[in-house]
A = this chain, B = another copy of it.
Protein backbone atom coordinates (compact mmCIF):
# COMPACT_ATOMS: atom_id res chain seq x y z
CA UNK A 1 0.00 0.00 0.00
CA UNK A 2 2.80 2.41 -0.75
CA UNK A 3 2.75 5.29 -3.14
CA UNK A 4 3.24 3.03 -6.08
CA UNK A 5 0.44 0.81 -5.05
CA UNK A 6 -2.79 2.73 -4.57
CA UNK A 7 -4.95 0.07 -3.10
CA UNK A 8 -6.70 -2.07 -5.64
CA UNK A 9 -9.48 -2.96 -3.31
CA UNK A 10 -11.35 0.04 -1.97
CA UNK A 11 -12.05 0.35 1.71
CA UNK A 12 -15.77 0.69 1.42
CA UNK A 13 -16.33 1.32 5.04
CA UNK A 14 -18.51 -1.76 4.95
CA UNK A 15 -16.58 -3.59 7.60
CA UNK A 16 -15.28 -6.73 6.11
CA UNK A 17 -15.75 -6.29 2.43
CA UNK A 18 -12.18 -5.31 1.76
CA UNK A 19 -10.86 -8.07 3.97
CA UNK A 20 -12.97 -10.59 2.12
CA UNK A 21 -11.84 -9.39 -1.27
CA UNK A 22 -8.24 -9.44 -0.22
CA UNK A 23 -8.61 -12.94 1.17
CA UNK A 24 -10.30 -14.06 -2.01
CA UNK A 25 -7.53 -12.56 -4.08
CA UNK A 26 -4.94 -14.36 -2.09
CA UNK A 27 -6.83 -17.64 -2.14
CA UNK A 28 -7.56 -17.54 -5.86
CA UNK A 29 -4.00 -16.54 -6.51
CA UNK A 30 -2.61 -19.41 -4.55
CA UNK A 31 -4.95 -22.23 -5.44
CA UNK A 32 -6.98 -21.01 -8.36
CA UNK A 33 -10.70 -20.35 -8.46
CA UNK A 34 -11.78 -23.95 -8.16
CA UNK A 35 -8.91 -24.97 -5.94
CA UNK A 36 -9.74 -22.33 -3.37
CA UNK A 37 -12.81 -22.87 -1.23
CA UNK A 38 -15.11 -20.37 0.35
CA UNK A 39 -13.83 -21.69 3.65
CA UNK A 40 -10.34 -20.68 2.60
CA UNK A 41 -11.60 -17.21 1.87
CA UNK A 42 -13.47 -16.96 5.15
CA UNK A 43 -10.44 -18.12 7.08
CA UNK A 44 -8.24 -15.62 5.29
CA UNK A 45 -10.69 -12.83 5.95
CA UNK A 46 -11.06 -13.73 9.58
CA UNK A 47 -14.80 -14.06 9.36
CA UNK A 48 -17.33 -16.81 9.22
CA UNK A 49 -18.18 -18.79 6.17
CA UNK A 50 -21.77 -17.68 6.15
CA UNK A 51 -20.89 -14.06 6.52
CA UNK A 52 -19.26 -14.12 3.13
CA UNK A 53 -22.67 -14.44 1.63
CA UNK A 54 -23.80 -11.20 3.18
CA UNK A 55 -21.35 -9.44 0.91
CA UNK A 56 -21.20 -11.65 -2.16
CA UNK A 57 -24.11 -13.85 -3.08
CA UNK A 58 -21.92 -16.42 -4.79
CA UNK A 59 -18.33 -17.46 -5.16
CA UNK A 60 -18.26 -16.33 -8.76
CA UNK A 61 -19.26 -12.85 -7.69
CA UNK A 62 -16.10 -12.65 -5.66
CA UNK A 63 -14.06 -13.44 -8.70
CA UNK A 64 -16.06 -11.04 -10.81
CA UNK A 65 -15.55 -8.21 -8.36
CA UNK A 66 -11.87 -8.90 -8.21
CA UNK A 67 -11.40 -8.98 -11.94
CA UNK A 68 -13.49 -5.91 -12.49
CA UNK A 69 -11.42 -3.95 -10.01
CA UNK A 70 -8.17 -5.14 -11.46
CA UNK A 71 -9.15 -4.32 -15.01
CA UNK A 72 -10.61 -0.98 -14.08
CA UNK A 73 -7.52 0.02 -12.23
CA UNK A 74 -5.26 -1.14 -15.04
CA UNK A 75 -7.29 0.68 -17.62
CA UNK A 76 -7.45 3.91 -15.70
CA UNK A 77 -3.77 3.84 -14.92
CA UNK A 78 -2.90 3.42 -18.57
CA UNK A 79 -5.44 5.98 -19.63
CA UNK A 80 -4.09 8.52 -17.18
CA UNK A 81 -0.54 7.87 -18.26
CA UNK A 82 -1.38 8.28 -21.92
CA UNK A 83 -3.35 11.43 -21.26
CA UNK A 84 -0.40 12.87 -19.40
CA UNK A 85 2.04 12.07 -22.18
CA UNK A 86 2.87 14.24 -25.11
CA UNK A 87 1.61 14.14 -28.64
CA UNK A 88 4.08 11.74 -30.16
CA UNK A 89 2.88 8.17 -30.44
CA UNK A 90 6.15 6.76 -29.21
CA UNK A 91 5.91 8.86 -26.06
CA UNK A 92 2.36 7.81 -25.52
CA UNK A 93 3.22 4.17 -26.06
CA UNK A 94 6.11 4.39 -23.70
CA UNK A 95 3.90 5.94 -21.06
CA UNK A 96 1.28 3.23 -21.53
CA UNK A 97 3.76 0.41 -21.16
CA UNK A 98 5.40 1.97 -18.14
CA UNK A 99 2.01 2.30 -16.47
CA UNK A 100 1.05 -1.20 -17.48
CA UNK A 101 4.21 -2.76 -16.08
CA UNK A 102 3.81 -0.68 -12.96
CA UNK A 103 0.38 -2.10 -12.42
CA UNK A 104 1.50 -5.67 -12.92
CA UNK A 105 4.30 -5.21 -10.46
CA UNK A 106 2.15 -3.43 -7.93
CA UNK A 107 -0.64 -5.95 -8.18
CA UNK A 108 1.05 -9.07 -9.31
CA UNK A 109 -1.39 -11.49 -7.76
CA UNK A 110 -4.36 -9.63 -9.14
CA UNK A 111 -2.72 -9.58 -12.54
CA UNK A 112 -2.11 -13.28 -12.38
CA UNK A 113 -5.65 -14.01 -11.33
CA UNK A 114 -6.99 -11.75 -14.04
CA UNK A 115 -4.88 -13.62 -16.55
CA UNK A 116 -5.70 -17.16 -15.56
CA UNK A 117 -9.07 -17.21 -13.81
CA UNK A 118 -11.13 -15.16 -16.21
CA UNK A 119 -12.12 -18.41 -17.85
CA UNK A 120 -14.22 -19.30 -14.83
CA UNK A 121 -16.41 -16.27 -15.24
CA UNK A 122 -19.67 -16.71 -17.10
CA UNK A 123 -22.48 -14.66 -18.43
CA UNK A 124 -22.62 -10.94 -17.93
CA UNK A 125 -19.73 -10.86 -15.52
CA UNK A 126 -17.51 -12.41 -18.10
CA UNK A 127 -18.65 -10.09 -20.84
CA UNK A 128 -17.90 -7.06 -18.74
CA UNK A 129 -14.42 -8.21 -17.87
CA UNK A 130 -13.67 -9.18 -21.43
CA UNK A 131 -14.88 -5.79 -22.56
CA UNK A 132 -12.57 -4.07 -20.09
CA UNK A 133 -9.69 -6.14 -21.31
CA UNK A 134 -10.52 -5.27 -24.88
CA UNK A 135 -10.63 -1.61 -23.95
CA UNK A 136 -7.11 -1.86 -22.65
CA UNK A 137 -5.93 -3.46 -25.82
CA UNK A 138 -7.91 -0.86 -27.75
CA UNK A 139 -5.85 1.86 -26.13
CA UNK A 140 -2.73 0.29 -27.45
CA UNK A 141 -4.25 -0.20 -30.87
CA UNK A 142 -5.16 3.45 -31.06
CA UNK A 143 -1.68 4.52 -30.21
CA UNK A 144 -0.16 2.16 -32.69
CA UNK A 145 -2.58 3.21 -35.38
CA UNK A 146 -1.82 6.85 -34.76
CA UNK A 147 1.90 6.17 -34.87
CA UNK A 148 1.52 4.21 -38.05
CA UNK A 149 -0.44 7.01 -39.65
CA UNK A 150 2.12 9.57 -38.62
CA UNK A 151 4.97 7.40 -39.86
CA UNK A 152 6.51 6.94 -36.45
CA UNK A 153 5.87 3.19 -36.58
CA UNK A 154 6.34 0.95 -39.55
CA UNK A 155 4.92 -2.37 -38.46
CA UNK A 156 2.97 -4.16 -41.14
CA UNK A 157 0.60 -5.65 -38.50
CA UNK A 158 -0.41 -2.91 -36.11
CA UNK A 159 -3.14 -4.77 -34.23
CA UNK A 160 -1.14 -7.94 -33.86
CA UNK A 161 1.76 -5.94 -32.54
CA UNK A 162 -0.52 -4.29 -30.01
CA UNK A 163 -1.71 -7.65 -28.83
CA UNK A 164 1.83 -8.85 -28.37
CA UNK A 165 2.69 -5.80 -26.34
CA UNK A 166 -0.17 -6.61 -24.02
CA UNK A 167 0.91 -10.26 -23.86
CA UNK A 168 4.42 -9.33 -22.87
CA UNK A 169 3.27 -6.97 -20.15
CA UNK A 170 0.77 -9.46 -18.79
CA UNK A 171 3.29 -12.28 -18.80
CA UNK A 172 5.43 -10.41 -16.33
CA UNK A 173 2.99 -11.48 -13.64
CA UNK A 174 3.89 -15.09 -14.22
CA UNK A 175 7.53 -14.83 -13.34
CA UNK A 176 8.25 -11.56 -11.57
CA UNK A 177 9.78 -11.71 -8.11
CA UNK A 178 10.10 -8.52 -6.11
CA UNK A 179 13.71 -7.91 -5.34
CA UNK A 180 14.86 -9.63 -8.49
CA UNK A 181 17.60 -8.56 -10.86
CA UNK A 182 15.66 -5.65 -12.29
CA UNK A 183 13.92 -2.87 -10.42
CA UNK A 184 10.34 -2.23 -11.44
CA UNK A 185 11.51 0.91 -13.19
CA UNK A 186 14.13 -0.95 -15.18
CA UNK A 187 11.58 -3.57 -16.06
CA UNK A 188 9.19 -0.94 -17.26
CA UNK A 189 11.86 0.76 -19.31
CA UNK A 190 12.89 -2.52 -20.83
CA UNK A 191 9.39 -3.36 -21.86
CA UNK A 192 8.87 0.08 -23.33
CA UNK A 193 11.88 -0.66 -25.46
CA UNK A 194 10.46 -4.02 -26.53
CA UNK A 195 7.17 -2.43 -27.38
CA UNK A 196 8.78 0.08 -29.67
CA UNK A 197 10.98 -2.64 -31.16
CA UNK A 198 7.90 -4.65 -32.07
CA UNK A 199 6.63 -1.77 -34.12
CA UNK A 200 9.52 -1.61 -36.49
CA UNK A 201 9.15 -2.35 -40.11
CA UNK A 202 10.84 -5.21 -41.97
CA UNK A 203 14.35 -5.64 -40.67
Spell out A's residues near B (CB within 8 Å).
32-35, 116, 119-120, 157, 160-161, 163-164, 167-168, 170-171, 175, 182, 190, 193-194, 196-198, 200, 202-203
Q: Is the CB of A35 within 8 A of B120?
A: yes
Question: Copies per complex?
Answer: 4
Contact among B32, B34, B171, B203 with A197 in the assembled complex (CB-CB below 8 Å): B203
Minimum CB–CB distance for A90 against chain B, Å:
9
Give the nearest-CB partner of A168 in chain B: B164
List, in ascending order, chain B residues with CB within 8 A of A161's CB: 194
Secondary structure at the A interface, as helix, strand, loop or mixed, is: helix
Contact among B32, B157, B196 with A120 in the assembled complex (CB-CB below 8 Å): B32
List, in ascending order, chain B residues with CB within 8 A of A175's CB: 163
Between-chain CB contacts (< 8 Å), 9 pairs: A32-B32, A32-B120, A160-B182, A164-B171, A167-B168, A167-B171, A168-B168, A170-B171, A197-B200
Q: Is the CB of B190 within 8 A of A160?
A: yes
Give the nearest-CB partner of A172 in chain B: B167
Give the nearest-CB partner of A174 in chain B: B167
Q: Is the CB of B193 within 8 A of A203?
A: yes
For the complex, give the distance between the alpha carbons of A182 and B164 in Å.
Answer: 15
Minimum CB–CB distance for A85 against chain B, Å:
17
For the complex, give the distance between the alpha carbons of A28 and B157 in Å.
Answer: 33
Q: Is the CB of A190 within 8 A of B157?
A: yes
**When A34-B34, A35-B120, A119-B32 are in contact, do A164 and B196 touch as well, CB less than 8 Å?**
no
List, in ascending order, chain B residues with CB within 8 A of A168's CB: 164, 167-168
List, in ascending order, chain B residues with CB within 8 A of A120's CB: 32, 35
